[in-house]
Amino acid sequence: MATRVEGASPAAGGDVKVTALITSAHFFSHFYILALPPLFGLLSTELGVSVAALGLGLAVLNVTTALSQPPIGFLVDRIGPAAILIVGHTAFAVAIGLLGLFPTYPALLALMVLAGLGNAVYHPADYAVLAARVSPGRIGRAFSIHTFGGYLGFAMAPPVMVALTAWLGWQTALLVTGIAGLAVSLALLASRSDLSARERAPARKPQESTRTDMRLLMSRPVLLSLLFFLMLAISHSGFTAFGVVVLQRLYGFDLATASLPLTVYLVVSALGVLAGGWVADRFGRHGLVVGLSSLVIGVAAGLFALFDMGLWPIVALFLVAGFFSGLIAPSRDMLVRQVTPPGASGKVFGFVMVGFNIGGLIAPPLYGLLVDLEMLRLVFWLVAIFSLLTIATIAGTGPAARRGEA
């Protein structure tokens, strides 16, 4: 378990303040990621480009994040998370706001690079702050609230952006959204002392430190954690990104009907995240929680792939899978914390979370090809397989990374 920082208050009030600040920033990071997709139809006309070209902009954001997140993790551990989080969050907010002031496609691509750099700070900086500043007895709930903030950002972005666009126009909507994020930057700046604590790492010479850091990231527990996040992203994408189209083509549901199971999945996922924080704090066997949750998700996906069924059994399966996909999140984060030596939260979380980005790049073309080939049930067979494969990665994670491998 990571060493807490001297001076970090264990008081509940301090934990609440830190968690609220970090969660607010995380909310906006997810909100900004989904700020543009609801407007793609309008932007395609306004900017004179295809929807595929707009999708390329999101790919630029994700690739930039994936490439820059690991080095930013090293920087977090070297200079502390506070300044990096403030600068990164501000960069993301500015990028979104400037899209409203410079309504051209080249500007969009350039600003997506800036947005990707900003987005890359959240996982390494957020987890470094939470690991160092939140009391051990509340860390699971802090992780769950942090994750819940991201879920909430995803959920609120489409309706808020559509409403603001209808009211103010798309350019002003983006500008207002960017300014709202800058308000959070000011709050982070005003409370930077609450975010500035760093975990103590053993003093080393620079060359020795680099070798040790690389051994840590290439250690079996950390690589398995990266693989875990990659497979989790692929399995999750089957439900969230392709569940609706599979239901439409497999059962002939209209859009509203096919969206119902997904809506249930997303709502109970958020509730599962909150429940998972309590479980992580009360039940120390995080690997067992993750393993059982992955098993349940895999079985639910397999049943969907295997049997023909009506709408309500489908809703029930999506409900079960959604709840456990949320429940898994805090214990998942605790497992990563478990293999992280003192002073290495930024680099380890920054590295393993790249698995999400890689999975997010693999899943859409893979599942999209299967849908185009009308191999619809195979989509959920793969969801089941990847969910079950995540269980194998848990066995190799443990405190070994804090010992000889670190």
Same domain (yes/no): 148, 185 = yes
Whether residue 2 has pLDDT greater than 60: no
As to burial, measured by CB atoms within 10 angstroms (0-12 exposed, 13-18 middle, 19+ buried), residue 277 is: buried
Nearest one of 39, 51, 30 to 164, comparing CA atoms: 39
Same domain (yes/no): 143, 249 = no
Q: Is 174 contained in some domain?
A: yes
Could you give the dihedral angle defined by the CA atoms of residues 134, 140, 144 and 145, in that order, rounded to the nearest 10 degrees? -30
- pLDDT value of residue 403: 41
Rounded to an integer, what distance in angstroms lies between the CA atom of residue 127 and that of residue 140?
12
Same domain (yes/no): 19, 148 = yes
Which pLDDT band holds residue 202 (cuts at 50, 70, 90)? low
Rounded to an integer, what distance in angstroms lies between the CA atom of residue 337 and that of residue 340?
5
Same domain (yes/no): 133, 268 = no
Tokens of 363: 């899943």
Which pLDDT band holds residue 396 (cuts at 50, 70, 90)? low
Show which of 194, 224, 247 is a domain's final residue.
194
Same domain (yes/no): 132, 239 = no
Same domain (yes/no): 60, 170 = yes
Same domain (yes/no): 86, 55 = yes
Same domain (yes/no): 184, 275 = no
Q: Is 227 contained in some domain?
A: yes
Range scoring the smallest mean pLDDT among 145-154, 203-212, 259-268 = 203-212
- pLDDT value of residue 12: 62
Rounded to an integer, what distance in angstroms lies between the CA atom of residue 174 and that of residue 125?
25
Q: Is 2 contained in some domain?
A: no
Strands (E), 19-101: none
Nearest one of 325, 264, 338 to 293, comparing CA atoms: 325
Q: Where are the alpha helices (DSSP H) in 193-285?
A: 206-217, 220-240, 243-251, 255-282
Domain that holds residue 313: 209-402
Q: Is 314 contained in some domain?
A: yes
Rounded to an integer, what distance in angstroms lies between the CA atom of residue 211 and that of residue 219?
12
Show which of 170, 194, 218 is a domain's final residue.
194
Same domain (yes/no): 308, 382 = yes
* pTM exceeds cut of 0.75: yes
124 or 211: which leads in pLDDT: 124
326-375 pLDDT tens trace: 999 999 889 988 888 877 888 898 899 899 888 888 888 888 889 989 99
138-180 pLDDT tens trace: 888 999 999 999 988 888 888 898 899 999 999 999 999 999 9
Q: Is 77 contained in some domain?
A: yes
Q: Is 3 contained in some domain?
A: no
| Count of domains forming the chain | 2
Residue pair 117/63 in contact (Cβ under 8 Å)? The answer is no
Show which of 141, 169, 194 is a domain's final residue.
194
Same domain (yes/no): 180, 236 = no
Classify the phi-psi angles of 169: left when phi > 0, otherwise alpha if psi is within -120 to 50, otherwise beta.
left
3 or 237: which leads in pLDDT: 237
Same domain (yes/no): 55, 175 = yes
Q: What is the DSSP string of 286-315?
A: HHHHHHHHHHHHHHHHHHHHH----HHHHH
Same domain (yes/no): 154, 227 = no
Q: Is 159 contained in some domain?
A: yes
What average pLDDT does this structure show over 306-317? 96
Q: What is the chain's Cα-based Rg?
A: 21
Rounded to an integer, what distance in angstroms lies between the CA atom of residue 391 and that of residue 55?
33
